Every structure is written in C-alpha cells, then in structure tokens.
Amino acid sequence: MSASGGSMWPLRFIILGCFLPITLSNEAKESPSIGIVGGGIGGTSTAYFLRQLFGDDAKIDIFEKRQVGGRLATISIGNQQFEAGGAVIHPKNMYMVNFTKLLGLEHVNGDMGSFGIFDGSSMRITSNKYRVVTLAKLFWRYGMDIYNIDNWINEKLLAKFMRIYDIQRAGHAYTTVPDLIGAMDSAFLSYMKKSIKFVMRTAGFGDAFIDEMVMGALRTNYGQSTEIPGFVGAVSLAGVQPGLWAVKGGNKQVPEKLVTEAKAQVIQGTVMSVQLLQYQDKTYRVEYVDAEKKEQHRDYDIVIIATPLHDEMSDIDFEDFPSPIENFPQHYHKLTSTFVDGTPNSKYFGVDNPEDLSEEILTCNDTILVNSCGKKTDVLGSPAQVYKVFSNSPPKEDDIKQMFTSKKDIRMFSMMAYPDYSTVGEELPPFVLHDQLYYVNAIELAASAMEMSSIAGKNVALLAYNHWHGSLEKIDEPYADSTSETEKTEL
C-alpha cells in the first residue's frame, strides 16, 4: 500500500515513535546520573549491576541514613560478634555465591545442629546424634513426607526458581513482581494466591508434617504461620535445607564491599523527598538532610528507591508527579532477636535432662512467645555459649528468667524485619513508579531474602538500562532459552 493511501500505521511503530525522542536524548547523554535511596543489599547490589551495565562513566550515588548494610547487621556480646539480621544463605543463591567470590569473602557453616520442635509444652520430635536414628524417628512420625520434601524443594521449586538467572543474563527485565515471578514458572503465580498449607496439602504432604516441620521453618525464618502465601513459604523451606552458609566476619560485608566494587559514592543523610523536575536537564531532585543536619539536594536522570515504602519504614515525599505516589498499604512484621550468654532452662522447653536439649529449637505454635531458640557460633564460626531467641515481641525480664537458669549478658535487637505475609493474593507494588523512577523493594512483598533483593536489584538495573537505551524488546517480553549448559555456570 502506498504512503498516500491514508492507512493507519501499525501500532508497534506508533508506540516506538512515542519513545524515540527520549531514546535519542538519552543516547546523546551516553551515561546517566543515578541516585539510589537505601544502602542495604538491595541498593548496593543494584549499584553493582548498574555499574556493570552502564560502565565507568555513569555517576552512582547511594543515600544511606545509618550504615551500609541495612537489615544485615551484627551484634556484640563480650569480644564476639553474631549475626543479628539475615543470617544464612542457600548454596544455590547464585548472586550471593558470586558476590562472595568476587569480593574475596570466605564462608562459614550455617547449618543448624541438633534440633527439636516445641509446641509450647513439650517437644513433638527431636533429632539424635546418630543420623540413622534421626531419619527413623522422622519417618515414624511423618512417613514419606520426610523423603519427598527435598525432591519437592529441589525439583518443583529451586530448579524453576533458578531460571531467573538465565533470563537476567540475557538482559530481560519485568515491570511488575508477578511478571518476574511468573517468568520463573507460571505455577509460582498460583503459589502467591494460595497459602503454603494449601499448596503443600495439594502436593500430597500430611498435616502433621505441615503443622510441625513447615510451621517450625516459617516461625524461625519469618515469624509467621502456614497461612502465608505459598511462594514465600517455599522460599522459607529452602532456608532450612542442608548446606546453608554465612559470610565469615558477617554477611553485612557483602553490601559494604559492593559499594566499592560499584564505584558508588555513599551520601550519609536522610532523604526527605523526590521531586519530579520539569523543563530542566535532569529528571529528579533528591532532597535530603545530611549528617550535619543541613538540608541539601542533588539532581539525577534516574532515581532508584531501595528502602521499603511503607508507613513503618518510610516518610519520603514524592512531589510534583502527575499522579500521587504514596506509601503502600502493607505492613511490616517486627521481629526481636534476644542474645543471651547463658544456660537455657531445659524444663521450659519440656525437656527434663539438660543434656537432651537440642541446640536449635523450632516452635510450631503461633500463640507462644518464642519463634525459635538456638545456640550460635559467632561470625567467624567460633563456638560460643550464646543463644539467639527469636520472638515477635520483646521478651520481658521474667520471660528470660524462665528460659535461662543462668545468664552473663543479654543483648536485644529489634527491627521491622519482613513484610506481614498474612494476606494471600494481595496486589503487590510495581518495580516502576514513574519514568526512570524504580522500586527495588517491591520484591519483598513476594518474598524477603538476601537473594530476592539481589534478583530485584538486577531486574531494576536492567529496567533502567533497557529504558535508557530504548531496548523495549527486553522488557516484559517472553524469554526463550538458547544458552548452553556451560554458559549457564557463569553470571
């Protein structure tokens, strides 16, 4: 058909035409200036991936009001330090594995020792120092569930979950959390809409296994019950598999060292607002109060929010946007870690002989104070007589007296640790808040973990890069795997 025929242009050309002026302008600038709000693992991994994508000429600033590391933190008792935030990493968490290799960090064992499941009055089951005896006890109580769980986690979950690394290696990114999760496997979308209890019952697991073993895992990892969505429940179950590890010297070293690797400037200050600029060279203005309590501002082409935008966590204002950007309605779950240098009272946990008390006690009753209680090694992997008690509310002095027969020292660490996953199937925040304004922590409403934050960091970095260069074919589009097995081993 001739050009004078008056026919409508194909829709794809109209859409691309709308983006053409932006694309040409961005190409002319070559490298953007980027402001990242939040210096946790989400913000620092995003900075690292942005540096990889945009190269040395991009300007990257990280705003952090406290210390780099965010919810990765340590606490001191005596002359030893212990993990107070995210504590263990799965061996198939490829970004965290590769970060430690890149940064020259060592691993220490993160597996639990002997374990028991406490219901508030007695132990439902305990492990034995002989593995064959433990397996026999587990089989007697849970039947084939105890054998089927590893296959279910590895083949039904992890094998599909790990597809995201191939997708991101190919440069593909997603604007919403469901799109990213669904790219791993469409079944994961249904997991997000149903409770982990329903998902596991449907998979053939019995109530005893779900109510005790699964509940114990959820209580120690998220302080919540088997009514949480199936996807985050599955992530939690992977967090109690064998082979877990931590970074020698503390997990917080990963974000601390990623800042250097990303060649990012850390700006110590509290961000007050992000303003959309009009008719100026830059797109956004970040206003903040610096370490000396002075009001300052900096302007950027791209802004990335890497801190939770929820009422308990953030009071950042978004100004002059055509549609309001406000905090999201979901709440965060407060968790208290109480570290006690002392001797636990075995009778409190329903065990008469102190020598029979398990090193790691999980709980399967969401009405009791303790989520879990475990004997810990320090961040260097050295043994200690220090116990870490997880609880959804701070224990009172009388609670500690009942739990421990003696105590030399007590340290308490509270934080808004994870989203409250009590609602199944709720709408999740997007990764894109506005043009060239992105939100890393959207991923937490699907599942909160160090690796999930790193995956979100890579996704946001790819979104920013693809939008900047007009590579729209790699945003929200299906991915066909054409890489070899050899290529898949490197990220």
> What is the Cβ-side half-sphere exposure of residue 391, based on CA atoms within 13 angstroms?
18
Span 208-262, pLDDT tens digits: 999 999 999 999 999 999 999 999 998 888 877 778 899 999 999 999 999 999 9
CATH architecture of 10-64+251-329+426-489: 3-Layer(bba) Sandwich (3.50)
- Determine the pLDDT at residue 17: 34
Whether 301 and 316 have beta carbons less than 8 Å apart is answered as no
Q: What gap in Å lies between CA 487 and CA 491, rounded to an integer?
A: 8
The rounded radius of gyration (Å) of the Cα atoms in the chain is 24
Span 44-66, pLDDT tens digits: 999 999 999 999 999 999 999 98
70: left (phi over 0), alpha (psi -120 to 50) or beta: left
3-state secondary structure of 409: strand
pLDDT higher at 473 or 490: 473
pLDDT at 28 over 60: no
Q: In CATH terms, is domain 74-162+189-249+331-419 a member of 3.30.1450?
A: no
Number of CB atoms found within 10 A of residue 260's CB: 12
Span 114-167, pLDDT tens digits: 999 999 999 999 998 898 999 999 999 999 999 999 899 988 899 999 999 999
Provide φ and ψ at 316, rounded to 5°. Answer: -75, 130
Q: Indicate where the chain has its CATH 3.90.660 domain(s).
A: 74-162+189-249+331-419
Give long-range contacts, CB 8 A cutoff, 24+ apart: 358-361.
358/113, 358/114, 358/115, 358/116, 358/123, 358/126, 358/127, 359/112, 359/113, 359/114, 359/115, 360/112, 360/113, 360/114, 360/115, 360/116, 361/115, 361/116, 361/117, 361/118
Whether 316 and 272 have beta carbons less than 8 Å apart is answered as yes
Q: What gap in Å lies between CA 357 and CA 89, rounded to an integer?
A: 26
The residue written with tokens 């004997």 in the block is 375
Using CA atoms, how far residue 399 sits from 186, 298, 385, in Å, is: 45, 49, 19
Question: What is the CA 154 to chain-centroid distance, rounded?
Answer: 19
Provide φ and ψ at 283, rounded to 5°. Answer: -95, -40
- Determine the pLDDT at residue 9: 27
Whether 284 and 274 have beta carbons less than 8 Å apart is answered as yes
Q: Indicate where the chain has its CATH 3.50.50.60 domain(s).
A: 10-64+251-329+426-489
User: Residue 456's closest CA among 445, 435, 440?
Assistant: 440
Whether 359 and 211 have beta carbons less than 8 Å apart is answered as no
Length of the chain: 491
Number of CB atoms found within 10 A of residue 293's CB: 8
Q: What gap in Å lies between CA 144 and CA 146, rounded to an integer?
A: 5
Six token digits for residue 150: 């590893």
User: Residue 174's closest CA among 483, 479, 424, 487?
Assistant: 479
Span 349-389, pLDDT tens digits: 999 999 999 999 999 999 999 999 999 999 999 989 999 99
Lowest mean pLDDT among 85-89, 99-103, 458-462, 470-474: 85-89
